[in-house]
């Protein structure tokens, strides 16, 4: 590739709602640029981007893929990010490491839920943004309407740099706004926004002087990097119109790492700036890990500073303090990699067989760079299943398979719940989980069944009660004797457990009191009501008796158990359930359905907020009612709704539902006997 400079790098993430044409645009770019000789299609499952078997089977992108190409002396790193809500974490990571977010909006479908999510991520990362109004060859394509919606919902700085010639079956080309007189008003708006970046140019413009084209072009580039202009393109990938113009504009005007400038890193609490210079200490961020059938593990990195050769070099994981030898860097185009001996600031490459690197890790050279980049943020999972291995062999292989899958997918979690004894796999939706299960079966030969996870209920008490527990046993030799009087009181929600020792006069010897507390902490993990942990209560040991010979720690623990079971049952026990904070984002027309649905699942509407044509419904709802909500919301909103949720608090289960939970628990106990 010859001598390269950060100034000649263009990295951008293609982001959109599913079906807006990101992968088709990436394919058309590779074809027009001569990287491939035949254009594949998503429907045929033969695009460069969608190379995983699950992507080809489902005709959607499920993982960000990287394309590297050369155009007009510039190196393009194109990150094709998935557009479906189940894989939104991939989009977030792609925008984090790219210098520009290119948001595609269908000229037919317009702004959709994941379009707004892409805008939200770009705003969060302060990334320059460009918009592509795609599918201009489709029936009912409406460039002007979509442009107006982009301006009103996202930013008035969205200005067209290419205008369509015709639409639908009459879409025949694009007009270059900056270099054409056919679109005078659009050209004037573009020039006016560009010259605002330079006071001297602005003065000339206001005085009506002719400004050299080179000065306008330089100002335009600055304006895009500063988000003063968000260029808007019109194109169609399927009939291949406007794609070459898009790529040439990227080469000429999109910001390089140098235009973006320094990024932040942290040395402990101290914030430092990292300049994109080739002579600075080497630093990079791992943003993706992929298991490749032929190469093995690939760690994808964005280089932020410095230069590094692969020859006889090691790379240092700053957070883990581990040093590893590296054999090569790979410039990736889909699943294919081309070895390169050196990487520089701005590069996005893959490193094979890097065992220690995980997503979010900062990589450097030992002794050269001590700071760490902020971790990559991923959305919290919203859909959970309990997984059960079908055979003993599946169970033996499960742990290894899960750990490898978790390395690749940071929006996935796996928890062995000690309380419910479920192995809980959580992700962004049923499709996400289904694909993970398919991968585990195909790659690691682990076959899993699923069920709805058990709700981690709790038990608590509503009034004060006192109970004696007396354990007395005589069986030859030393007997067993322990006697306790304990007062149980409810505490406020979330207070946990409090043990109070108010014994006076040695009624219970000091050396046995810790056994009473230990017994309570042990027995409260399985309450007498339905076997769930007991919380938010105090236990006051206030009296008891002992035997000089027969008393022991075990005797007092057993006495405590008798007191605990009687005392809790006498203190008006109730079942508690976890309640979640939920935020649902939907087009306005689905508001009534969403709110009515929450009422049907014991939810409470806490508020609403408008975001353009989208509405955010804030609610609280019991976890027991939310396990299948990802599927229900998708069905209710034709895939246009998305939601997030996190734990809020525990509250009482209604009596009729509590009866069913308790009865089911007793039946399970009987079945186990």
Flag the least confident range among 75-79, 153-157, 295-299, 537-541: 295-299
Residue % of the chain over a pLDDT of 70: 98
pLDDT at 673 over 80: no
The DSSP result for 81-128, as a single string, is ---SGGGHHHHHHHHHHSSEEEEEEETTTBS-HHHHHHHHHHHHTT--
Distance between CA atoms of 602 and 620, rounded to whole angstroms? 9
DSSP-based three-state secondary structure for 519: helix
pLDDT at 282 over 70: yes
Residue pair 132/25 in contact (Cβ under 8 Å)? The answer is yes
Distance between CA atoms of 68 and 300, rounded to whole angstroms? 13
Q: Name which residue leads in pLDDT, 563 or 474.
A: 563
Q: Look at residue 295 in the predicted model and tell me its pLDDT.
A: 65
Banded model confidence at residue 293, pLDDT cuts 50, 70, 90:
low
Cα dihedral 31, 37, 39, 45 in deg (nearest 10): -120
Residue pair 211/137 in contact (Cβ under 8 Å)? The answer is no
196-232: per-residue pLDDT in tens?
988 889 998 888 888 899 999 999 999 999 999 999 9
Banded model confidence at residue 1, pLDDT cuts 50, 70, 90:
very low
pLDDT at 543 over 70: yes
Q: Name which residue leads in pLDDT, 310 or 78.
A: 78
Q: Look at residue 380 in the predicted model and tell me its pLDDT.
A: 85
Residue pair 321/315 in contact (Cβ under 8 Å)? The answer is no
Banded model confidence at residue 268, pLDDT cuts 50, 70, 90:
confident
Q: Look at residue 671 in the predicted model and tell me its pLDDT.
A: 66
Banded model confidence at residue 672, pLDDT cuts 50, 70, 90:
low
pLDDT at 588 over 60: yes
Looking at every residue in the chain, the average pLDDT score rounds to 92
321-334: per-residue pLDDT in tens?
999 999 899 999 99
Mean pLDDT (whole number) for 414-427 = 89
pLDDT at 398 over 50: yes
pLDDT at 2 over 60: no
CA 263 to chain CA centroid, Å, is 22
597-610: per-residue pLDDT in tens?
999 999 999 999 98
Q: Look at residue 666 in the predicted model and tell me its pLDDT.
A: 81
Taking the model in full, what pTM does it have?
0.84
Q: Look at residue 61 in the predicted model and tell me its pLDDT.
A: 84
Residue pair 554/473 in contact (Cβ under 8 Å)? The answer is no
Q: Tell me the domains of the chain and their CATH numbers.
A: 6-182+228-258 (3.40.50.300), 263-364 (2.40.30.10), 383-451 (3.30.70.870), 459-571 (3.30.230.10), 576-656 (3.30.70.240)
Cα dihedral 563, 567, 569, 573 in deg (nearest 10): -130
pLDDT at 580 over 80: yes
Angle (deg, nearest 10), helices 513-523 and 553-570:
50
Q: Look at residue 479 in the predicted model and tell me its pLDDT.
A: 85
Q: Which residues pair with 389 in a beta bridge?
A: 448
The DSSP result for 164-184, as a single string, is EES-GGG--EEEESTT-STTH
73-109: per-residue pLDDT in tens?
999 999 999 988 888 889 999 999 999 999 999 999 9
Q: Look at residue 638 in the predicted model and tell me its pLDDT.
A: 81
Distance between CA atoms of 148 and 141, rounded to whole angstroms? 14
Distance between CA atoms of 439 and 435, rounded to whole angstroms? 6
Specify the DSSP element, H or E, that contains 206: helix 199-206
Distance between CA atoms of 121 and 88, rounded to whole angstroms? 10
Banded model confidence at residue 611, pLDDT cuts 50, 70, 90:
confident
Q: Look at residue 294 in the predicted model and tell me its pLDDT.
A: 64
């Amino acid at each position: 590739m010859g001598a390269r400079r950060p100034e000649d790098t263009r990295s951008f993430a293609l982001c959109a709602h599913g079906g807006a044409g990101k992968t088709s645009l990436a394919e058309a770019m590779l074809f027009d640029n001569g990287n491939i000789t035949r254009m594949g299609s998503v429907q045929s499952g033969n695009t460069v981007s969608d190379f995983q078997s699950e992507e080809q089977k489902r005709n959607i992108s499920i993982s960000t893929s990287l394309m590297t190409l050369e155009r007009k002396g510039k190196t393009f790193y194109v990150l094709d990010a998935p557009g479906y809500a189940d894989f939104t974490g991939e989009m977030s990571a792609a925008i984090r490491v790219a210098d520009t977010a290119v948001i595609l909006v269908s000229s037919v479908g317009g702004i959709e839920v994941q379009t707004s999510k892409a805008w939200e991520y770009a705003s969060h990362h302060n990334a320059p943004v460009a918009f592509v109004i795609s599918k201009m060859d489709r029936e009912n394509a409406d460039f002007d309407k979509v442009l107006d919606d982009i301006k009103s919902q996202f930013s008035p700085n969205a200005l067209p740099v290419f205008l369509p010639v015709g639409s639908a079956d009459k879409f025949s080309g694009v007009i270059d706004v900056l270099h054409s007189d056919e679109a005078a008003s659009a050209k004037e708006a573009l020039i006016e926004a560009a010259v605002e970046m330079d006071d001297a140019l602005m003065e000339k413009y206001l005085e009506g002087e002719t400004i050299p084209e080179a000065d306008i072009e330089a100002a335009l580039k600055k304006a895009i990097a500063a988000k003063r202009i968000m260029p808007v393109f019109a194109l169609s990938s399927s009939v291949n119109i406007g794609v070459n113009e898009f790529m040439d504009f990227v080469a000429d005007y999109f910001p390089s790492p140098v235009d973006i400038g320094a990024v932040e890193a942290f040395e402990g609490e101290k914030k430092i700036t990292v300049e994109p210079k080739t002579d600075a200490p080497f630093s990079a961020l791992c943003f993706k890990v992929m298991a490749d059938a032929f190469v093995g593990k690939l760690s994808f990195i964005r280089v932020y500073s410095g230069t590094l050769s692969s020859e006889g070099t090691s790379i240092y994981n700053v957070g883990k303090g581990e040093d590893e030898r590296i054999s090569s860097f790979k410039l990736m185009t889909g699943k294919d990699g081309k070895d390169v001996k050196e990487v520089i600031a701005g590069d996005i490459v893959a490193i094979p067989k890097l065992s220690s690197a995980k997503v979010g890790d900062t990589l450097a050279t030992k002794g050269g760079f001590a700071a760490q980049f902020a971790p990559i943020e991923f959305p919290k999972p919203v859909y959970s299943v309990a997984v059960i291995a079908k055979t003993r062999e599946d169970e033996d292989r499960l742990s290894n398979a899960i750990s490898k899958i978790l390395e690749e997918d940071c929006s996935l979690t796996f928890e062995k719940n000690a309380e419910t004894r479920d192995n809980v796999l959580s992700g962004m939706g049923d499709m996400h989980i289904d694909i993970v299960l398919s991968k585990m079966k195909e790659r690691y030969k682990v076959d899993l069944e699923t069920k709805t996870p058990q709700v981690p209920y709790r038990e608590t008490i509503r009034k004060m009660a006192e109970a004696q527990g007396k354990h007395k046993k005589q069986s030859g030799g030393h007997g067993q004797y322990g006697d306790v009087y304990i007062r149980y009181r409810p505490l406020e929600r979330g207070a946990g457990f409090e043990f109070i020792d108010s014994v006076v006069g040695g009624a219970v010897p000091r050396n046995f009191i810790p056994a009473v507390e230990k017994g309570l902490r042990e027995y409260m993990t399985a309450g007498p009501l339905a076997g769930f942990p007991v919380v938010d209560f105090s236990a006051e040991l206030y009296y008891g008796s002992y035997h000089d010979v027969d008393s022991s720690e075990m005797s007092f623990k057993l006495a405590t158990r008798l007191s605990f079971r009687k005392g809790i049952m006498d203190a008006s026990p109730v079942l508690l359930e976890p309640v979640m904070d939920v935020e649902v984002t939907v087009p306005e027309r689905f508001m009534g359905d969403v709110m009515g649905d929450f009422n049907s699942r014991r939810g409470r509407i806490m508020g609403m907020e408008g975001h353009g044509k989208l509405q955010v419904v804030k609610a609280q709802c019991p976890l027991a009612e939310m396990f299948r909500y990802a599927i229900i919301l998708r069905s209710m909103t034709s895939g246009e709704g998305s939601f997030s949720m996190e734990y809020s608090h525990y509250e009482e289960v209604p009596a009729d539902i509590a009866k069913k939970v308790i009865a089911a628990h007793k039946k399970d106990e009987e079945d186990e006997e």
